A = this chain, B = another copy of it.
Amino acid sequence: MLNTLGNLLSLTTFGESHGLAYGGIINNFPAGLAVDFEKVQYELDRRKPGQSAIVTQRKESDTVQFLSGIFEGKTTGTPIGFIIENENQKSKDYDHIAKSYRPSHADFTYDQKYGLRDYRGGGKSSARETMNWVVAGALAKQFLSDIEINAYVSSVGEIFCEKPYQALDFSKTESNEVRCPDAETAEKMIEKIKEIKKEGNTIGGTITCVIKNVPVGIGEPVFSKLQAELGKAMLNINAAKGFEYGSGFCGAKMTGKEHNDLFNEDFTTKSNLSGGIQGGISNGMDIYFRVAFKPIATILRPQESVDKDGNPVIVEGKGRHDPCVLPRAVPVVESLAAFVLADLFLINKTRNINNF
């Protein structure tokens, strides 16, 4: 359904950057889950602004309030409504763009599509929307308690985490500001981001996500293959420019003989270039994928642009902005992955007559 995430388990959301609140409705969440509210807020805190020196200094508490669907601490199977109030709105910071179009932002396309736009803070096109996704994903994670989902920053600009994910200790991801579990690489990334920030510039990068313990059978060919649903979710993240899973774009350079994953006698595979998915369905091996993020378009430097009438103007980012979206996007990637998996996990329960 248009503007809804998920096929059975579903998330519908609302909110603009400088409106009164964000929020959403999670539908068809199974009844009976004892919700750990602190864990939900923990995920929001990982995403929120102002948490470290390398992210925007905007201050928001980003506190979620559940309004329905939970009774005496447990999900009731009815729609889970929630809101997150906006607090720290400096709408005046945006007066200068009411009639101007910032380069590589959605100002122009929103105006053209809808005929008007809430320009304050980017309005609907702001990445504050991803808060809603984190709330839904945090509940999905709790439902899928046996599945481990770990995302991390795998590159910032030209600095790559060269170690394969198998060599990383994900318990270290939260130990540094940039959320790269390899301490040495993390340090370089942080340094790079600080340098970029000083220039009033921004920088892109990639996030890798690894999912362990997914049971065999998750994914719905032909039009809701697991990789397609994961890819769609990730490509909806603001600033995402690409998605690859398993061998990805590297696999496109290989031959079949090199690329095929041979089976062991327990149906695990000797290699895993497939990335844990065969024919759109999980095969029990680790699922891993990578998302590319462009540098944030708002830079704190004057840029030539145009106004609504096509007249030349100079726009300059004001206010408090992220020099690099990556660290805060890590929980967003994990949340979307959790939600997509939970949706397909529920559906899979109905796919075989033996379950009835």
Contact = CB atoms under 8 A, between A and B. Distances in A.
A171 interface: no
A274 B8 CA distance: 29
Contacts of A206: 249, 252
A241 B236 contact: no
Interface in A141-159: 143, 155, 157-158
B261 A236 contact: no
B13 A292 contact: no
Given A101-B263, A109-B283, A202-B256, A351 B3 contact: no
B254 A204 contact: yes
A261 B30 CA distance: 29
Contacts of A263: 101, 103, 108, 304-306
A79 interface: yes
Contacts of A251: 204, 241-242, 292, 294-295
A241 B252 contact: yes
A168 interface: no
A83 B81 CA distance: 10
A224 B108 CA distance: 18
Contacts of A233: 228
Nearest to A274: B104
A118 B246 CA distance: 26
A70 to B, nearest CB: 9
A56 interface: no
Contacts of A81: 14-15, 21, 23, 83
A176 interface: no
A229 interface: yes
Nearest to A66: B20
Contact of A106 (B19, B30, B279): B279
A23 B68 CA distance: 9
A245 B255 contact: no
A25 B5 CA distance: 14
Contacts of A257: 201-202, 299, 301
7 contacts: A2-B7, A76-B117, A79-B222, A109-B217, A229-B232, A241-B245, A242-B249
